[in-house]
Amino acid sequence: MTQRWTTAVLDIEQLGGWAVAHGPEGFLLDDNGVLFPREWLKRQELSILAEHGIGHFNGEPVYLLELKATAQVPGCQWRGLRSFMLEGDHTVYRMLGYAAQIGTWAREHRFCGSCGQPMLQVLRERAMYCQDCDVRHYPRISPSMIVLVTRGDEVLLARSPRFVPGVYSTLAGFAEPGESAEECLIREVREEVQVEVKNIQYMGSQCWPFPHSMMLGFHAEYAGGEIVPQPDEIEDAQWFSIHNMPPLPASRSIARYLIDLYLARRLGYAEPLLPV
């Protein structure tokens, strides 16, 4: 049976359903996976910070238990979200990616940023409410531009000091207030490698729950300039031949999709599917 995940705001006062536990070290899992009977999980010695109904998995309701700290549960272990992206079932990863974003939001919005009073969870709505300020806070999504810059049979790839050793990827950065997506892309490429681009084309998007980004993917052609890596941000940047590529990002990332799609079109391969 094909697994299916759908998001929804569920009433936490209802009984039953499944639950996932999320804490500073990732998600709790055992030999059967990350879904536990909700009532059983709530009876364990877990420091629950918040509980949210997050949707349905194969038609069954799923709840998130956001924890203050991780705890030892017999027969279980903790695993980070990135490992699920790299190794696990993609439907499960999508569910956990959503849960991680809701958990981060719940953790960061326990108190009002204006008056400091405790926030209240709004029933049947994905919002936290401050009575004193009469304001609602919703989960945050941070738009980020990611772009593959090309020059014929060459692609411009760079390394951040945070990357896995040896891996090169596309350029990316967050949008600033007042910017369009295209303006952000041009600025980020200029800042990171001092290169100018033209013929910008939107290619697709991907939710990136690390912790709450929406990656907007583009392709752009080289328009001028010599590569000068931005200090402290870019460890190295080079033009690579499509016939001699370095180690690349994970296959489920939009960065890899942008690269693989360009290679496929230049070399006559079957085009990859956009990861969702």
Q: Reduce the DSSP state of residue 84 to 3 states and report it.
A: helix
Q: What are the residue ranges of CATH 3.90.79.10 in the chain?
A: 142-267
Which pair of tokens denotes residue 9? 């705001």
CA 195 to chain CA centroid, nearest Å: 27
pLDDT tens, 226-235? 999 999 999 9
pLDDT tens, 144-191? 999 999 999 999 999 999 999 999 999 999 999 999 999 999 999 999
Q: Is the peptide bond before 275 cis (omega within 30 degrees of 0)?
A: no
**For the domain 142-267, what is the CATH code?**
3.90.79.10
DSSP 272: P
- Residues listed for the chain: 276
Residue 5's nearest CA partner among 64, 63, 84, 58 is 58
Q: Do 172 and 144 touch, CB atoms closer than 8 A?
A: yes
Residue 267's nearest CA partner among 239, 237, 244 is 244
Which pair of tokens denotes residue 139? 């989960």
Which residues, given as ranges, of the chain have pLDDT below 50? none
pLDDT on residue 1: 58
Which pair of tokens denotes residue 41? 């999980």
Topology (CATH) of 5-108: Nucleoside Triphosphate Pyrophosphohydrolase (3.90.79)
Q: Residue 253 class from Cβ within 10 Å (0-12 exposed, 13-18 middle, 19+ buried)?
A: buried
Output the CA–CA distances (angstroms, integers) from residue 178 to 169, 172, 182, 187, 231, in the order listed.
Answer: 27, 18, 12, 13, 25
Round to whole Å and give the CA distance between 222 and 199: 9
Q: Reduce the DSSP state of residue 262 to 3 states and report it.
A: helix
Round to whole Å and give the CA distance between 232 and 230: 6
pLDDT on residue 157: 98
Q: Residue 108 class from Cβ within 10 Å (0-12 exposed, 13-18 middle, 19+ buried)?
A: middle
pLDDT on residue 275: 87
Amino acid letter for position 18? W
Q: Is the peptide bond before 211 cis (omega within 30 degrees of 0)?
A: yes
Amino acid letter for position 28? L
